[in-house]
Amino acid sequence: MKSVYLKVLASVLALLMVMTAVSACTPIEVPSEISGESSELSASESGEESSRQGTGEDSSAVGTESTADTSVSESSEVSVETTESEDGSEAVSEDSSVEDSSVEVSEPESSDSVSDESSESEYSAPDINTGEFFPPAEGKAVAFTFDDGPSYITDKILDYCEEKGIKVTFFVVGNRVGPENGARIQRAVSLGCEVGNHSYDHPSYTSMSSSAVLNDQIGRTNSIIEKYAGACPTLMRPPYGNYTKDLAAKAGMNVIMWSVDTLDWSYRNTEKIVEHSYPKIDSGDIILMHDLYETTYEAFVIMADKLIAEGYQLVTVSELLGSEKLVDKTFYFGFGY
């Protein structure tokens, strides 16, 4: 019993001497007869601290653990002081790296998180088709658009798109979409092309009531496109370019006009289409064509080949404009938009 009492007294004495040394900031010598007992105590504390870190316990949750953390911190300071005097800066560097790493684990993660958020928020609106953020096409880019299809000419255009790895946009007429043309819409979507609404039977919207336009033309055609494309279109182009902003706002779709009119429907001559259109094309243009005529396809290939050779990207309307513009359903694009 006396032996146990002496050991306890020796341990208390050693701890008091350590705390006195810390407050005085001077190294101490531990008596040789209790050094073994002190080492055992230090190892026990170190094991408890390691166990807490391994299990992720929160020391602030329990008041007694907070006290234990303080004693461990003080013990660590003594360890650094002693190591610094005995082993030099190399040992201190190791201890410092341990402390720094515990801090740096959270700081870089927080920084990376902010960086990721800022890169996304650079474009403040998502694509209304996919919900994803994306910028307008970089570099030189144009968007070819084809109205009034689908037809067998659509197949030829899609063959060229697949061969060259480019994309275009089709504004389809609802009453021309049956099982055969529905398959063409599905193929267009599979190649990354875009499909928009161009009415059900091509009337002038300004000569109709709003309800007739919204229900019989736009709504009806949207349902047909969704059946084959797998998603409701978000872009519309009114026949003849006739619409009102009030009508567009009620439809809740982006009205996409054009900046280069090839007049392919009028010329129906490959060379004339190219001569009339190509000199007018510049980066950012939306080019109007119709996938109904052989001469349209031929002129498209000639102009597309030239543009690709000059470093242009041939993209969809959505890719050309970017998600931020497309999310605003009251934003209109027209001649020289």
- Cis amide bond preceding 279, omega within 30: no
Q: Any idea of the CA torsion for 42, 47, 48, 52, to the nearest 10 degrees?
A: 140
Question: Of all residues in the chain, what percent are helix, strand and coil, respectively (each to 5)?
Answer: 60, 10, 30
3 state SS of 197: strand
The tokens describing 317, both together, are 């309307």
CA–CA dist 220, 152 (Å, integer) = 23
206 contacts: CB under 8 Å, gap ≥ 6: 242, 243, 244
Catalytic residue (choose from 147, 148, 285, 291): 147
The DSSP annotation for 306-332 comes to: HHHHTT-EE--HHHHH-HHHHT-TT-E
Q: Any idea of the CA torsion for 217, 218, 221, 227, to the nearest 10 degrees?
A: -150
Please confirm, yes or no, whether 202 is among the known catalytic residues.
no
CA–CA dist 253, 242 (Å, integer) = 15
Catalytic residue (choose from 127, 276, 290, 291): 290
- Residue 67 phi/psi, 5° resolution? -65, -40
The tokens describing 235, both together, are 């872009």
CA–CA dist 226, 83 (Å, integer) = 73
Element (H, E) at 66: helix 63-87
| Residues identified as active-site | 147, 290
